[in-house]
């Protein structure tokens, strides 16, 4: 062996093999690098899902909270409930639309969306007749307020009779309180 070879052999013998503590440090460093690489990959996936890492700033975004009125308007528009909701508002303002005298005796019951008819119940047949005569004027006034064609007709219902009671003191086959039994 030459001197250089002996020197190289001695140098390799002098470098100690890594001990348990050194092996633990190397393993810990490798684990940290792998974790960092996994974390960077997960962060990139999140940013890709969010749209390239763009964040909501001062500008409006679809994720921003809405005011209650705006949220309700959006819901009505999405579901196609604008006309029934508008007619519901008319039912709340009925006295202002028809006048106090008529409102005392005639009450809107419901809105039939298929027929576009507003069903109104009156407390007497005289008021029902009066409202039938006023119906074309009311339809025009309602359509000015709600939009053309929202209400096509007003169905006027007279007063309902007394409820029919069934019980042990009723004669079989009787037609109601006006029955004279013979």
Task: Check residues 120 and 53 and name the one with the higher pLDDT.
Answer: 120
The residue written with tokens 């050194």 in the block is: 22
- Report whether 119 contacts 111 (CB < 8 A): yes
Is residue 123 predicted with pLDDT exceeding 70?
yes
Task: Identify the top-confidence range among 53-67, 128-142, 166-180.
Answer: 128-142
Banded pLDDT at 182 (limits 50, 70, 90): very low
Q: Where are the alpha helices (DSSP H) in 80-153?
A: 82-92, 94-98, 100-105, 125-146
- pLDDT tens-digit profile of 9-35? 555 556 566 677 777 778 878 888 887
The model carries a pTM of 0.49
């Amino acid at each position: 062996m030459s001197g250089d070879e002996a020197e190289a052999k001695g140098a390799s013998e002098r470098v100690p093999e890594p001990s348990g503590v050194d092996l633990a440090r190397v393993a810990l460093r490798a684990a940290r690098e792998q974790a960092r690489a996994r974390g960077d990959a997960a962060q990139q996936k999140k940013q890709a899902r969010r749209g390239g890492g763009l964040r909501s700033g001062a500008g409006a975004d679809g994720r921003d909270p809405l005011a209650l009125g705006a949220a309700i308007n959006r819901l009505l528009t999405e579901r196609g409930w604008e006309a029934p909701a508008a007619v519901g508002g008319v039912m709340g303002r009925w006295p202002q639309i028809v006048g106090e005298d008529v409102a005392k005796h005639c009450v809107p019951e419901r809105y039939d969306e298929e027929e576009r008819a507003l069903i109104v119940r009156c407390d007497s047949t005289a008021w029902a007749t009066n409202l039938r005569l006023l119906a074309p004027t009311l339809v025009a006034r309602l359509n000015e307020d709600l939009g053309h064609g929202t209400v096509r007709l007003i169905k006027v219902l007279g007063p309902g009779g007394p409820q029919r009671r069934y019980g042990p003191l009723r004669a079989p086959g009787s037609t109601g309180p006006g029955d004279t039994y013979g």
